[in-house]
Amino acid sequence: MKSVLKSLVNSIFLVLFIIFSSSTPLVLAQCEAETKTNGCHNYRESMKLKIIAIVAILLSSMIGVCLPLFSGQFPSLKPDRDLFTIVKAFASGVILATGYMHVLPDSFNDLMSGCLPENPWRKFPFTTFVAMLSAVLTLMVDSFAMSVYKKRCGKALMVDANNGGGLENTNVVPIDNFEHGHSHSLEMNDDVSSQLLRHRVITQVLELGIVVHSVVIGLAMGASGNQCTIRSLIAALCFHQMFEGMGLGGCILQAEYEIKMKAIMVFFFSATTPLGIVLGIGLSKVYSETSPTSLMVVGLLNACSAGLLNYMALVDLLAADFLGPKLQTNMKLQAWSYVAVLLGAGFMSLMAKWA
């Protein structure tokens, strides 16, 4: 898990480095920008709105991701309760719509822009190609992480079984029954450990996709000088981050991390969009949303994030829950969960009108 977290941190810094290094020559490769209007381009007003955005998005992100973590104070919101399942389904719908309705269209707009050369950018669908590769890569990370763990865990269990697990035979329990019970206990422990590891892998990979997307949208807002756009984005992104954080917070809760690890993951999710805004403000002199280099970098990053988020939402969140024993044996809960998914996806799709 430490190696996965280290990869997450390295990926964040790599994204920031790519954007920073690619933005320095942007003034030399400008595409003709849209004509500025006097009513919507005011440096002082836009800077005030950006500061408000940093505080508001930070608070809404923290509230969203922390709400599930404090659900232990409310018995009805514990992970084994029906209400938690419905809330998680709603948040999974939000994450699914984020990938399809927000990130993927942004990548299409960037990589199919008229500011890029027609060959090869408008001759080949790079957005869907990169998103497909990202989904397959996510599957590989998910699969290999589980395989490595099961291999190591299997060896440990074999050693434990050969040593008798520290237990001794007694005259009360027959040897056959003892061996059967011991084997069954090992299998149960293995299943619980495998499920816990799966929740942890899901949580960290999901956060990686969200963090990449958050940096990109924060950078775009910070570099923008259009106060009319920024004003409408603040409310939309606050709702966006809050509900997306609820989905991530539910995964963190199921992963059963220690307090330190939970705090680290909450910090990364909450701080990345404000950090992107600050970075965009710093690069606003040389950063241009319509420059070819910027369009390529941001478009490819969005495509990667879209593939990752779509895979995680469909396979690791929705399919894992709806095809699991809890929902398969409770048709009423399954129906309400579907309603929650549609509400979450529909609400976040509506947000695409503004953000």
57 pLDDT above the threshold of 80 = yes
| Mean pLDDT of the chain, nearest integer | 77
Positive/negative CA dihedral, 58, 23, 100, 317:
negative
Q: Per-residue pLDDT averaged across 267-271, rounded?
A: 92
pLDDT number for residue 21: 47
pLDDT number for residue 200: 82
270 pLDDT above the threshold of 90 = yes
3-state helix, strand, coil in the chain (%, to 5): 80, 0, 20
**How far, in Å, are 99, 149, 291, 323 from residue 143 at the CA level?**
22, 10, 38, 18
Query: Which of 131-140, 148-157, 218-227 comes out lowest in average pLDDT?
Result: 148-157
SS (H, E, C) 108-158: HHHHCCCCCCHHHHCCCCHHHHHHHHHHHHHHHHHHHHHHHHHHHHHHHHH
- Angle at CA of residue 247, ends 242 and 251, nearest 5°: 135
pLDDT number for residue 192: 66
pLDDT number for residue 54: 93
The tens digit of pLDDT for each residue in 122-152 reads 899 999 999 999 999 988 887 887 777 667 6
pLDDT number for residue 263: 92
Distance in angstroms (rounded) separating the CA atoms of residues 95 and 293: 28
Query: Which of 10-14, 78-82, 149-153 comes out lowest in average pLDDT?
Result: 10-14
pLDDT number for residue 159: 53
165 pLDDT above the threshold of 50 = no
Q: 225: pLDDT confidence band, cut at 50, 70 and 90?
A: confident
More confident residue, 33 or 331: 331
pLDDT number for residue 199: 81
Query: Which of 70-74, 166-170, 203-207 comes out lowest in average pLDDT?
Result: 166-170
More confident residue, 287 or 19: 287
**DSSP secondary structure of 32-100:** -PPPP-TTTB-HHHHHHHHHHHHHHHHHHHHHHHHTGGGGGGSGGGSTTSHHHHHHHHHHHHHHHHIII
Q: Per-residue pLDDT averaged across 203-217, rounded?
A: 83
pLDDT number for residue 229: 74
Q: Per-residue pLDDT averaged across 254-261, rounded?
A: 87
288 pLDDT above the threshold of 50 = yes
Query: Which of 34-38, 66-70, 288-292 comes out lowest in average pLDDT?
Result: 34-38
pTM: 0.70
Share of the chain above pLDDT 90, in %: 19
Query: Which of 54-68, 77-91, 270-284 comes out lowest in average pLDDT?
Result: 77-91
The tens digit of pLDDT for each residue in 110-124 reads 899 888 888 889 899
Q: Cis peptide leading into 120, omega within 30 of 0?
A: yes
338 pLDDT above the threshold of 90 = yes
pLDDT number for residue 62: 93
337 pLDDT above the threshold of 90 = yes
Residues forming a β-bridge with 226: 41
Q: 59: pLDDT confidence band, cut at 50, 70 and 90?
A: very high
Q: 330: pLDDT confidence band, cut at 50, 70 and 90?
A: very high
Q: 28: pLDDT confidence band, cut at 50, 70 and 90?
A: very low
**DSSP secondary structure of 166-197:** G----SSS-HHHHHHHHHHHHHHHHHHHHHHH
Q: Per-residue pLDDT averaged across 147-176, rounded?
A: 54
